[in-house]
Amino acid sequence: MKRKLRMGMVGGGPGAFIGDVHRRAARLNGDIELVAGVFGTDVAKSRECGKELFLDPARVYPDYKDMVAGEMKLPADERIDFVAVVTPNRMHYPISKAFLEGGFHVLCEKPISMSSKEAIDLKATLVKTGKLFALMHNYTGYPMVKQARQMVADGALGTVRKINVEYSLGWLAAPNAGKQASWRVTPSEAGISGCMADIGTHAQNLIHYVTGLDIVSLNADLATFVPGRALDDDGSVMLRFNNGARGVIFASEVATGEENNFVLKIYGDKAGLEWRQESPENLIFRTNDAPMQVYRRNWAGVGEAAKKASHLPAGHPEGFLEAFANIYRAFADAIIANLNGEKNPTGDFPGIEDGISEMRFLEALVKSSNTGQWVTM
């Protein structure tokens, strides 16, 4: 295929942090071009955003339903190939469903929906339409996360026994944290959970991505520290996995002074691994009978998956934006394979099953926190 993929976007208008991240990441590999969109519910501001992005005004639509209809009317060689959905949580499901039914591939921000019922319905739509779906859990795109995954799969840790994850932020410590924070603790916009839906799902997803293990039961304690909030801004969860391992997720958005302190620790009967998002170039490997080893991105000893996900030579730090770009690149490769006639192409990106799993996780932890009991997934 000798052209760029044509991308649409719903959401990500003026003042939206994550929408701009998606646009920058999609451009990074040079194979995707943004050509259409709906950049918020304020039509005038959306059109102004489209103008700033140098889009054809005719393809900056009033709402997502008009966008689906408008793109379907265009010749096949002009309409978008896929859409990126970067709205607040409540719109992820209806927008994704509408574009799938319109014949478009979809990349959606997490969490996938407001309930597991919606997520399961979206899977049925996906199967019916034969389109491709990617869920943006960007931390799976980091090279040294991929290295950790490979080392676990190769047996370097032995049998996994313990998994500890911390994700601490301070941005919701004050009552008035701004527009981008406020909708995340509003049930009508975010769903049944605040902090855990926002960052706890990243922890749950990263555990599964790196270890391949599934949570079978959990015991959660959710808290809302800032008066007036209807959803959690802090949470702790004890986990039991399908291989007998135990784990803990500690997630907080009221951890005053913390920036993006996302830490994954995995312990097996042979060795342990540690990865920190704030120093993502390093993967720490520990045993009881040798000095600690630090694997560095793009150095000797790093596997092919990590090398493929690296954009720059060692010593030129990579991070957040490049991780997003790696998800876009993997999804773009799958779309190109589909356009070239390959049936059901796959790639190294989270998908529909991850979306269903995260919603079941959220429902289980809310139930557990409300009842004070262990809940089976």
Averaged pLDDT for residues 156-173: 97
If you average pLDDT over every residue of the chain, what do you get? 96
Closest CA to 145 of 303, 356, 26: 303
> pLDDT, tens digit, for every residue of 107-159?
999 999 999 999 999 999 999 999 999 999 999 999 999 999 999 999 999 99
Averaged pLDDT for residues 3-17: 94
**Residue 181: predicted pLDDT:** 77
**Residue 36: predicted pLDDT:** 98
Percentage of the residues of the chain whose pLDDT score is greater than 70: 100
Catalogue the E-assigned strands of the chain: 5-11, 32-38, 82-86, 105-109, 133-136, 160-168, 215-223, 234-241, 246-252, 261-268, 272-276, 282-286, 293-296, 375-376
Q: Are 266 and 107 in contact (CB under 8 A)?
A: no
Whether 1 has a pLDDT exceeding 90, the answer reads: no
> pLDDT, tens digit, for every residue of 246-276?
999 999 999 999 999 999 999 999 999 999 9
Choose the weakest-confidence range: 170-179, 185-194, 211-220, 301-310: 170-179
Give me the count of residues in the chain: 377
**Residue 180: predicted pLDDT:** 74
Quick one: fold of 140-307+358-376? Dihydrodipicolinate Reductase; domain 2 (3.30.360)
Structural domain boundaries in the chain:
5-139+322-351, 140-307+358-376
CA 319, CA 312: separation in Å to the nearest integer?
A: 11
Whether 178 has a pLDDT exceeding 80, the answer reads: no
Task: Write the DSSP assignment of 16-49 as a string of letters.
Answer: -HHHHHHHHHHHHTSSEEEEEEE--S-HHHHHHH
CATH homologous superfamily, domain 5-139+322-351? NAD(P)-binding Rossmann-like Domain (3.40.50.720)
CA 118, CA 73: separation in Å to the nearest integer?
A: 28
Global confidence as pTM:
0.95
> pLDDT, tens digit, for every residue of 301-360?
899 999 999 999 988 989 999 999 999 999 999 999 999 999 889 999 999 999 999 999
Residue type, 134: A
**Residue 226: predicted pLDDT:** 95
**Residue 91: predicted pLDDT:** 97
**Mutual orientation of helices 92-101 and 116-129 as an angle, nearest 10°?**
10
Residue type, 93: Y
Whether 300 has a pLDDT exceeding 90, the answer reads: no
Q: Are 285 and 293 in contact (CB under 8 A)?
A: yes
Residues whose CB falls within 8 Å of the CB of residue 128, separated by 6 or more in sequence, listed in order: none
**Residue 10: predicted pLDDT:** 98
Q: Tell me the C-alpha to C-alpha distance, in Å, between residue 75 and each of 64, 71, 78, 80, 273.
A: 19, 8, 5, 10, 51
> pLDDT, tens digit, for every residue of 12-32?
998 889 999 999 999 999 999
Helix (H, G, I), strand (E, B) or coil at 52: helix
Whether 177 has a pLDDT exceeding 80, the answer reads: no
